[in-house]
Chains A and B, each alone.
Chain A
Amino acid sequence: MDGTQIAMPPGKAVRLRVDRDGAIKRLFMVVIGLYLVIALALPLYAMMSRSLVTYSFDLTRYEFQVSDEAGNWGEPVSAAELNARLGRFAPTDLRTNTNGRLSATDFFPDFSFRSPVKYRLRGTTDNAPWLVGLDLKNTTAWQEYDSNTFRRVNLRPVASQGLQNYAEYFSNPALFSSIENSIFIATVSTVLTVVLAFGFAYAINRSCMPFKGSFRLVAMMPILVPSLLPGIALIYLFGNQGMLKEMLGGQSIYGPLGIVIGSVFFTFPHAFIIISTALSLADQRQYEAAESLRASKWRTFWIVTIPGARYGLISAAFVTFTLVITDFGLPKVIGGQYNVLAIDIYKQVIGQQNFEMGAVVSMILLIPAVVAFAVDRQMQKKQVSLLSARSVPFEPRPNRRFEMFCLAWCGAIAVFIMGIILVCQYAALVKFWPYDLSLSLNNYDFNRMDGGGWASYWNSIEMAALTAVIGTVVVFTGAYMVEKVDGFAAGRNVFQFLAMLPMAIPGMVLGLAYIFFFNNPANPLNAIYGTMAILVVSTVTHFYTVGHLTALTALKQIDAEFEPVASSLRQPFYRLFARVTVPVCLPAILDISIYLFVNAMTTVSAVVFLYSTQTTLASIAVLNMDDAGDIAPAAAMGMMIFYTNAVARILHAVVTRRVLVRTQAWRRR
């Protein structure tokens, strides 16, 4: 203590302080992140746990006692011991599913139902279920049966945790071949859709072709109808009684062909919306540079246009792929004998009430989402913003030959889309196809049919409006937080992953997951079960990804310099958000809201398990009517959905035009 050395206390570690702005942003992100966790991650977790629930017969839980013919009881003996003695069942034989039964007489080789021998059975633990006939017993007290009753005794399996379901799945060739079929269908549909949609979007954004507005409307049409509807139309067109049956040259429309055509139809707008957003913003200066460097049109296309739209193309491909692979409406209506994964879930859950195996198939369907996420991260690292603060927006120049080509391309697609819709309208009006072709409005008398009648139609509109408003706010804010918050990388990654996930989740799985999660008395959110709220939450969540990708694509094209500039001008982020970000992205925001609205009108699978008496929906009515054989009324209700969505879409177009005039003037020179 002589003061030769003064030890300084170690200083505080230097940390970057999160300013108020950053704190608010993080708070927002946590709130929206929390929404995704509750509406997505936890239900999925419930689903995953379900896929790990396995069933097997636990023989140690049962004890038998057998009498001789005079009625004197022998020693109690456990089923496990009997089995060991007889060598009757190997451990693998004892595995089963939730519906498994094991006849108790199997443990008694000399059993005869006429013998006067009596049997006793009891559980050695609390949970040792068995059936007498169809009566469930579960007790540790001895139960006595005569021989004739004992032959009706079946042991029931008990649940435990394990990977057994997966092993069973992959060893079943029927189920396994569905994976191949699904991937084949999805790949073919994706290639076709992306090529067609790219050409379409390119013509609309990069040419001076006439009728752009009309084409844009037509391109969005398929999104306005439930995915079952193209199936119905294709049957009317190419089925065994089809109007254009000869065109297929003997090929059957039932099977992969029908699924692919229908899939291209219903995924087209999804791909188009993403690619179009990517193509809508381009820097005129890059094209001027290319031109002054004497690059050919072809070369410019490959080194300027395609790289600029790369992010949108890849997103569109993944969106299409997962939409096709998870859709069950089309394969159900027109798939014939072609087994795909989504149909397997349907068969397992609806046909056999085997939720565990349904959950396993669902888990396998999650794989594309994981791949999509990985690729998305890779792409994002390389993505550069196209629109900097100094950008000059691209304006196409007239070129007659090119325009004619564009017109032909878009025209062909438009005829295809309009044709399908018109056939549906025709189907809705025909009295009895194909034997009574007179027209009538009988098929619109929905109150006489399945599905809740006209009330369900109004419910659908309410649900869609709520979904559009709430969903847009949640989705866009979420995307903004992912794209424009600096730091907090781990949180953003988790968020991005959660946002990508819904696309790969079949609606039916989401719906089931919601039942497991929300219809649990221990869950404080139990109250929303059976209400409109759960329909809205499930729908927003189900369609989260495309909205998120649209918002991201738009946001990526705003230069990151805006944030530092605003910050240096001491402007809080929400002012920048409200004054710059939202106005610049307004077209994208409107696209997201209309996307959510029309999908909420058409969605079937996500809500089929969740609707209640007070909240029947029009889209469910379509499914139920088709199922009950009322195919024409199903088409009629489908067309009601179409017209409603068309009106919403026209309103959207009007609003967008006015908004563009007011907020997007800067895009033009």
Chain B
Amino acid sequence: MKKTLLLSAAAALLCTVAARAETELTVYTAVEAEDLARYAETFNQDHPDIKINWVRDSTGVITAKLLAEKNNPQADVVWGLAATSLLVLKTEGMLEPYAPKGLDALSKNFRDGDNPPSWVGMDAWVAAICYNTVEGAKLGMTAPTSWMDLTKPEYAGHIVMPNPASSGTGFLDVSSWLQIFGEEKGWEYMDALHQNIQAYTHSGSKPCKMAAAGETVIGVSFAFRGAKSKAAGAPIDIIVPSEGIGWDMEATAIVAGTDAPEAAQTLVDWSISRKAMEMYNVGYAVVGIPGIAKPVEHFPAGIEDAMIDNDFEWAANNRSAILEEWTRRYDTKSEPRS
């Protein structure tokens, strides 16, 4: 009897020791899968006592999942989700404001404006045009250099862009055009562009993927995807339009109501550290702390200068209205082209 008691006490002790040694965090993310293991590994070099359980999906699915779980959140931290999605979560009161260590080093674009901030940025992903040089040459086209170029008749039926109603990248494009050209001119621009569109896709990476495979000539997508396809051997050029480019960032936030707040804070602290920024820089040309980023292979030059002064608050608060207008104008005509 005594023996069993002793044994179970020992077992209980062991368990608590084990528990203390390892806190588990459920982290929701939209970061590319091939980067996840590297991110967790690098983080564990500094914090071996915190184990990250990733839940990874595309931006839309993760956002929908977080919103659907609103009343019983499963995630402790969101690490690597579009800031525009985090803004939606913020307006629902789902994020825990926290000022991480080293906040001052971040460039002011890369943090929530409130104090303490509800989210902090990691790296930026920027819009870009993927242009298939082989197919373009076959059709005798010249490469576009600006957004305005895309409305030229020579590209009719050879441009693919994401549908903003189903893709975050698509919304990024539309909201940036409205900011670059102004509302009225912006819609006029899209009216003209619509005449040249071959298809609106549901995912933001797909237009570039289609351009890479020659399914279309011009894909309106983002630079990161283009660089990846180019590295895989696709005959594409990544073009930064001269008017400036829309961008969004990957960001980190603590989910309100987490039962491991200390570990969550440790992770967020680390997520904006120098070491983390260098880690992001492997795939992303623009990161949250200025002056750290080194050029990334296949990325076009001058991205940082081309980034527009994106008004995230305006975009988030007008998203519903913009999508309604876009759907009214272009989605009703979404008939097959045959």
A residues at B contact (CB < 8 Å): 96-97, 99-101, 131, 133-136, 138, 152, 154, 156, 173-174, 177, 235, 239-241, 251-252, 254-257, 332, 336-339, 343, 346-347, 349-353, 355, 431-436, 448-452, 512, 515-516, 519-521, 526, 529-530, 608-609, 612-614, 624, 627-629, 631
Contact stretch, chosen from B162-170, B182-190, B241-249, B292-300: B162-170
Residue of chain A at shortest CB distance from B208: A629
Chain B residues 66 to 102 lying within 8 A of chain A, measured CB to CB, are: 67-69, 71-72, 74, 87-88, 90-93
CB contact under 8 A between A627 and B203, given known A520-B71, A609-B65, A613-B26? yes
- Among B88, B202, B233, chain A packs the most CB atoms within 10 A around the CB of B202
Q: Which residues of B contact A516 (CB under 8 A)?
A: 68
Contact B67 A627 (CB under 8 A): no
Contact of A136 among B90, B164, B205, B225 (CB under 8 A): B90
Contact stretch, chosen from B1-9, B121-129, B146-154, B317-325: B317-325
Chain B residues 295 to 316 lying within 8 A of chain A, measured CB to CB, are: 313, 316
How far apart are A446's CB and chain B's nearest CB, in angstroms?
9
Q: Which residues of B contact A614 (CB under 8 A)?
A: 53
In the complex, number of A-B residue pairs with CB atoms less than 8 Å apart: 181
B residues at A contact (CB < 8 Å): 26, 32-34, 53-58, 60-61, 63-65, 67-69, 71-72, 74, 87-88, 90-93, 112-114, 134, 163-167, 199-200, 202-203, 205-206, 208-209, 212-216, 225, 228-229, 232-235, 313, 316-321, 323, 327-328, 331-332, 334-338
Contact of A629 among B68, B166, B206, B318 (CB under 8 A): B206
CB contact under 8 A between A336 and B199, given known A177-B332, A235-B215, A254-B336? yes
Given contacts A254-B336, A350-B58, A350-B166, 13 further A-B contacts (CB under 8 A): A101-B318, A131-B91, A337-B334, A347-B202, A351-B164, A353-B88, A432-B232, A434-B214, A515-B65, A516-B68, A624-B33, A629-B209, A629-B228
Q: Which residues of A contact B113 (CB under 8 A)?
A: 133
Contact of B74 among A135, A450, A530 (CB under 8 A): A530
Q: Which residues of A contact B235 (CB under 8 A)?
A: 435
In angstroms, Cα B325 to Cα A195, docked, is 43
CB contact under 8 A between A347 and B234, given known A101-B317, A433-B213, A624-B33? no
In angstroms, Cα B215 to Cα A33, docked, is 50
Contact A512 B68 (CB under 8 A): yes
How far apart are B56's CB and chain A's nearest CB, in angstroms?
7
CB contact under 8 A between A355 and B336, given known A136-B90, A332-B202, A435-B235? no
CB contact under 8 A between A350 and B60, given known A134-B87, A436-B233, A613-B54? yes
How far apart are A634's CB and chain B's nearest CB, in angstroms?
11
Residue of chain B at shortest CB distance from A446: B33
Q: Which residues of A contact B199 (CB under 8 A)?
A: 254, 336-337
Q: Which residues of A contact B55 (CB under 8 A)?
A: 612-613
Residue of chain A at shortest CB distance from B66: A353
Contact B213 A241 (CB under 8 A): yes
How far apart are A78's CB and chain B's nearest CB, in angstroms?
23
The 6 closest A-B pairs by CB, nearest first: A255-B336, A351-B166, A450-B33, A350-B60, A629-B209, A99-B320
In angstroms, Cα B320 to Cα A97, docked, is 8
Contact B320 A100 (CB under 8 A): yes
Contact A353 B63 (CB under 8 A): yes
How far apart are B227's CB and chain A's nearest CB, in angstroms?
12
Contact A629 B225 (CB under 8 A): yes
Contact B61 A338 (CB under 8 A): no
Q: Which residues of B contact A241 (CB under 8 A)?
A: 213-215
Contact A349 B332 (CB under 8 A): no
Q: Which residues of B contact A100 (CB under 8 A)?
A: 320
How far apart are A427's CB and chain B's nearest CB, in angstroms?
11
Please report whether the interface of chain A is mostly helix, strand, loop or mixed according to DSSP.
loop
Q: Which residues of B contact A337 (CB under 8 A)?
A: 199-200, 334-337
Residue of chain B at shortest CB distance from A253: B338
Q: Which residues of B contact A526 (CB under 8 A)?
A: 72
In angstroms, Cα B318 to Cα A422, docked, is 48
- Among B134, B328, B338, chain A packs the most CB atoms within 10 A around the CB of B338
Residue of chain A at shortest CB distance from B207: A629
How far apart are A172's CB and chain B's nearest CB, in angstroms?
8
Contact A174 B331 (CB under 8 A): yes
CB contact under 8 A between A347 and B214, given known A255-B338, A339-B334, A432-B233? no
Residue of chain A at shortest CB distance from B327: A174
In angstroms, Cα B337 to Cα A256, docked, is 10
Residue of chain B at shortest CB distance from A609: B65
CB contact under 8 A between A152 and B313, given known A101-B320, A239-B215, A255-B336? yes
Contact of B91 among A156, A432, A436, A519 (CB under 8 A): A156
In angstroms, Cα B331 to Cα A352, docked, is 15
Residue of chain B at shortest CB distance from A526: B72
Contact A135 B60 (CB under 8 A): no
Contact B165 A351 (CB under 8 A): yes
Contact of A355 among B67, B88, B164 (CB under 8 A): B67
Contact of A336 among B91, B234, B336 (CB under 8 A): B336
28 pairs of residues in contact across A and B, judged by CB atoms under 8 Å: A99-B88, A101-B320, A156-B91, A332-B202, A337-B335, A338-B335, A347-B163, A347-B165, A349-B64, A350-B60, A350-B64, A350-B166, A351-B163, A352-B320, A353-B67, A353-B88, A355-B68, A435-B235, A515-B69, A519-B71, A519-B74, A521-B72, A530-B74, A608-B61, A609-B65, A613-B53, A624-B58, A631-B213
Contact B234 A435 (CB under 8 A): yes
Q: Which residues of B contact A353 (CB under 8 A)?
A: 63-64, 67, 88
Residue of chain A at shortest CB distance from B65: A609
Q: Which residues of A contact B212 (CB under 8 A)?
A: 629
In angstroms, Cα B331 to Cα A343, docked, is 13
Q: Which residues of B contact A174 (CB under 8 A)?
A: 327-328, 331-332, 334
Q: Which residues of A contact B112 (CB under 8 A)?
A: 134
Q: Which residues of B contact A343 (CB under 8 A)?
A: 202
Contact A346 B209 (CB under 8 A): no
- Among A96, A350, A512, chain B packs the most CB atoms within 10 A around the CB of A350
How far apart are A514's CB and chain B's nearest CB, in angstroms?
10
In angstroms, Cα B57 to Cα A343, docked, is 18
In angstroms, Cα B54 to Cα A451, docked, is 11
Contact B332 A624 (CB under 8 A): no
Residue of chain B at shortest CB distance from A514: B68
Residue of chain B at shortest CB distance from A254: B199
Q: Which residues of B contact A613 (CB under 8 A)?
A: 26, 53-55
CB contact under 8 A between A154 and B90, given known A241-B215, A338-B335, A628-B32? no
- Among A97, A136, A627, chain B packs the most CB atoms within 10 A around the CB of A627
How far apart are B286's CB and chain A's nearest CB, in angstroms?
21
In angstroms, Cα B319 to Cα A517, docked, is 29
CB contact under 8 A between A629 and B229, given known A134-B313, A252-B338, A521-B71? yes
Contact A346 B166 (CB under 8 A): yes
Contact A515 B68 (CB under 8 A): yes
Q: Which residues of A contact B336 (CB under 8 A)?
A: 252, 254-257, 336-338
Q: Which residues of B contact A254 (CB under 8 A)?
A: 199, 336-337
Contact A519 B320 (CB under 8 A): no
Contact A134 B317 (CB under 8 A): yes
Q: Which residues of A contact B215 (CB under 8 A)?
A: 235, 239-241
Contact B323 A352 (CB under 8 A): yes
Q: Which residues of A contact B319 (CB under 8 A)?
A: 99
How far apart are A55's CB and chain B's nearest CB, in angstroms?
10
Contact B72 A519 (CB under 8 A): yes
- Among A174, A256, A448, chain B packs the most CB atoms within 10 A around the CB of A174
How far apart are B287's CB and chain A's nearest CB, in angstroms?
21
Contact A338 B334 (CB under 8 A): yes
Q: Which residues of A contact B225 (CB under 8 A)?
A: 629
In angstroms, Cα B284 to Cα A358, docked, is 34
Q: Which residues of B contact A239 (CB under 8 A)?
A: 215
Contact B205 A629 (CB under 8 A): yes
Contact B331 A339 (CB under 8 A): yes
Q: Which residues of A contact B203 (CB under 8 A)?
A: 627
